[in-house]
Chains A and B, each alone.
Chain A
């Protein structure tokens, strides 16, 4: 997780107190609710100029900081993320 990622993420986590954000940090427990997931997604996509795949849009991706970062870094490095492949079009 790079600095830009945590900087984008932190404003969505209203219950995060001091201390570093860990990959296993529970985003929902820290205040991210389901209605904000899309706003967070837009913020991340704007920050990196990327677009996350539809396949990554599930509860697992938004469960922890590490899961979300995995999807972001997969797009940045051109590698398939945890959600792909095989979960394609429904």
Chain B
């Protein structure tokens, strides 16, 4: 049985992603050890044009879609989950601009992104955590400008970003649910680290708390003022769940591939494959990844073809992808640690890299908390009493 031959743009994208992975692999251990941002890998993302994957060709981008983002993120995740998350979240910002910014802003920003700019997302708040649809950050209106004073406890790659998309409470709005999405160029802001970054995993994502302040033109609001909700439902949420799930699946896939390579290599480890316990554990890990892969492919189709993503059955599927990917990818790697034991599973310097993958994947259920998503899904389930599937 021969593997399907991939040709054309898909092949090229994977080759570009591999080029980035080669650089990332050289620096990943150091970035993890010291919890620093993978600047070399970001430079390679820039050089390959992948930062402009979702920008149209006429603006200088690679003309890709969400399926391409998923494919590249899966690939990057095999080498480094922090890098895959950085890439996927950047793509999420670009996608939001491409789909929701007014024509003038879009025509200005997309060519700017295509020159190799990296965008960070500022959606967390001091008391709101990762809750997207409330913002405690009021902005003050100053003629055609907004005065922003924003604290965010977690901003992935924030100190390395060329620009930000940030949530702010709509100017002069009483309701904290009237949230706007605002673009700010790095040069328009004062950006200060407001604390250290000392996490268990995802160390290379360098996501310290930030304080951002500046005077931003109102014309840089993406979409309708106060209607970030529409962007979340149609673009931000789906892109996040697809991108994150791809990063997690890629990470667990890389872990499984490295374990299999070790077991297949000529030598002593090969003899262990007669163990029924080992075979069962390999099967279980592979099964978990196949489930996530199938759900990812199905959700990708839903997101790219559905008319109204606000309907409960669709929202439930998009959320199920996130919850399932977070749980199953982490469990698959945990299974693999048991499968190969202390020396190959638990030690930092093992070529299987399970130790880092497991630490990184522990963040998945917390990265927009599964608990919070279950509360939303419980309500959504009640809104679909006949139980429709998509």
Contact = CB atoms under 8 A, between A and B. Distances in A.
A33 B132 CA distance: 12
Interface string A28-42: 111111110110010
Given A34-B133, A58-B310, A90-B389, A41 B383 contact: yes
B175 A57 contact: no
Contact of B174 (A15, A35, A54, A58): A15
A35 B383 CA distance: 11
A58 B308 contact: yes
A57 B311 contact: yes
B390 interface: yes
B386 A28 contact: no
Interface residues of B, number: 28
A33 B175 CA distance: 10
Contacts, number: 60
Interface string B43-81: 000000000000000000000000000000000000000
A57 B312 contact: yes
B388 A89 contact: yes
Given A35-B379, A38-B379, A59 B310 contact: yes
A37 B177 CA distance: 14
B134 to A, nearest CB: 8
A60 interface: yes
Contacts of B133: 33-34
Contacts of A37: 379, 383
A15 B175 contact: yes
A12 to B, nearest CB: 12
B173 interface: yes
Interface string B219-248: 000000010011001000000000000000
A19 B235 CA distance: 35
Contacts of B375: 35
B385 interface: yes
B178 interface: yes
B33 interface: no
Contact of B390 (A15, A38, A54, A90): A90
Most buried by B among A14, A29, A35: A29
Contacts of B230: 59
Most buried by A among B173, B177, B313: B177
B385 to A, nearest CB: 7
Contacts of A54: 312, 383-386, 388
B344 to A, nearest CB: 45
Contacts of A33: 133-134, 177
Given A37-B383, A54-B388, A57-B384, A28 B310 contact: no
Contact of A31 (B177, B313, B382): B177
B314 A90 contact: yes
Nearest to B378: A38
B313 A90 contact: yes
B376 interface: yes
Nearest to B232: A34
A39 B307 CA distance: 26
Given A90-B311, A90-B390, A57 B177 contact: no
Interface of B: 133-134, 173-175, 177-178, 226, 229-230, 233, 308, 310-314, 375-376, 379, 382-386, 388-390
Closest 9 CB pairs between A and B? Answer: A59-B310, A90-B388, A57-B383, A15-B175, A90-B390, A15-B174, A38-B379, A58-B310, A90-B313
18 contacts: A15-B175, A28-B175, A29-B178, A31-B175, A33-B133, A33-B134, A35-B379, A37-B383, A38-B379, A54-B312, A54-B384, A54-B385, A57-B383, A58-B311, A60-B308, A89-B386, A89-B388, A90-B311
